[in-house]
Structure 1
Amino acid sequence: MVSTKVWLMSCLVATTLLYSPASAKCNTCSVNGIACLSDSSFLICHKGVPDSSQVFQCPAGEVCVSHSLKRCVPGSVSSADCAADQNACGACNGNKLFTCLTPTTFAQCNSTALLRSVVGSCPSGLTCDSSRPEICVLGGAECSR
């Protein structure tokens, strides 16, 4: 009787751990091979490292998720793993020419659209700060991911 209770309790704990939602982080490679940058943009991962040379966008109405075989799912089905209000990195708000993707990479914005083809890296020792005219600066990075 006691061993049955222990076994059932162990199964309950294991199930809870397996099915509890993961707290996804922005710009972190996930099991589906992508790193979400914002609610609707992502990078492809190679050997567990996000490749910032090309930023991909989810189709309209879909959000980036890391807990699915699909990279993007309808926003009505799931919430984004890296929502814009959680992380401003990779988000174009219409008020800036560039946005930081990581502490040392940036991409060009066209109003609220992130341009996939215009991605750059800061020189060694500098970090990205899209609120400054220089983009790459000494000191604290805009994105800490």
Structure 2
Amino acid sequence: MAMKMFNYVQIVCVLALAWFLVGILADCNVCQTNQVACINSTSFYLCFGDGTPHTDHIYSCLDGTVCTDRAAICLQTSAQWPPSCGDTSKCGQCSANRNYKFACQSRRLFQMCYGATQPTGALGVCPAGYVCDASTDVVCVAERAGQNYTCDLNDDLVSSPTEDTTVATTVATTSKPTTPSSLTAQQVCELRAKSGLYETVPRDPNCKRYISCYFATSGKIIAVEYDCTASSYFEAEKERCSYLLPANCTA
């Protein structure tokens, strides 16, 4: 009887460990059974049941919680409920490197710190097969199986801080010769006359507010105004929210 009980306990432990590892090894930016795609440890896209992450809006978990594959999506940080994807707590942190030499902005992108507390200048890119590692002083190290990233964020969610993403004329693609100084969201979408994510008019200098334009089944274009999350900013040229403050924005 004692041996059977011991075997039962072993089986339970193995199953628990397997479940735990599945949680750790979950893929980033992939729709889960709870209909979200975690893109890092604290942020996610919605999936709406179609198996495709909808990238027009980034959602963030509350402080102290992480993005998981559970029904509640965001749960308190613990070993029992590990995040489905990555760790972003050291993204952009010069202090992650002991000599404040550089900061990792994503898996392969980095910025120099030169001993300061905030990174500055253009982004650097690690060569193919290498990743940014703030635990060393060589910046980029060879990627290996089971790699722990200093900043586990997809590279395409980070934009260059020197890139000017200003749209010179918000409605330049329309036939109207002049642009009013102020437009409602609906007016912006009617002038654009196509689906997409666009800047407000006037443009939000903080790069938070943007307008989503899409066509209803009736054929009428619909306008919805959104805000990027507290840790992300709207990029007009790429029509998305990303995590690095563009040069033409005010924090």
Deviation at residue 78 of structure 1 after TM alignment: 1.8
Deviation at residue 121 of structure 1 after TM alignment: 6.9
Q: Can you give the 5+ residue segments of structure 1 that lack an aligned partner in the other structure?
A: 1-11, 123-129, 134-145
1:78 counterpart SS class: coil
In the alignment, does 2:32 pair up with 1:33? no
Correspondent of 2:82 among 79, 82, 85: 79
Deviation at residue 49 of structure 1 after TM alignment: 0.2
Fraction of identical pairs, as percent: 23
Structure 2 length-normalised TM? 0.31
In the alignment, does 2:66 pair up with 1:63? yes
Matched-pair contact (CA < 8 Å) for 1:105–1:119: no
Matched-pair contact (CA < 8 Å) for 1:62–1:75: yes
Higher relative contact order (CA 8 A, sep 6+): 1
Query: Between Structure 1 and Structure 2, whose CA radius of gyration is higher?
Result: 2
In the alignment, does 2:117 pair up with 1:118? no
1:50 alignment partner AA: P
Structure 1's 48 and 118: CA in aligned 2 closer, same or farther, altered over 3 A?
same
Q: Can you give the 5+ residue segments of structure 2 that lack an aligned partner in the other structure?
A: 1-10, 89-105, 112-117, 124-152, 162-205, 207-229, 239-243
2:234 alignment partner AA: V
The CA RMSD over aligned residues, in Å, is: 4.2
Structure 1's 119 and 29: CA in aligned 2 closer, same or farther, altered over 3 A?
farther
Task: String of CA shifts for 1:85-136, please: whole Å, max 9, x gaps.
Answer: 7xx46xxx974899xx7676657999xx532x615675xxxxxxx8xx9xxx
Equivalent position of 1:126 in the other structure: none
Structure 1's 31 and 75: CA in aligned 2 closer, same or farther, altered over 3 A?
same
Q: How many residues in Structure 1 have an aligned counterpart in Structure 2?
A: 101
Matched-pair contact (CA < 8 Å) for 1:106–1:121: no
Task: String of CA shifts for 1:27-81, please: whole Å, max 9, x gaps.
Answer: 0000000000111000001301001100000000000001x11110000352211
Instruction: Tell me how far apart the structure 2 counterparts of residues 33 and 121 of structure 1 sit (CA, whole Å).
Output: 28
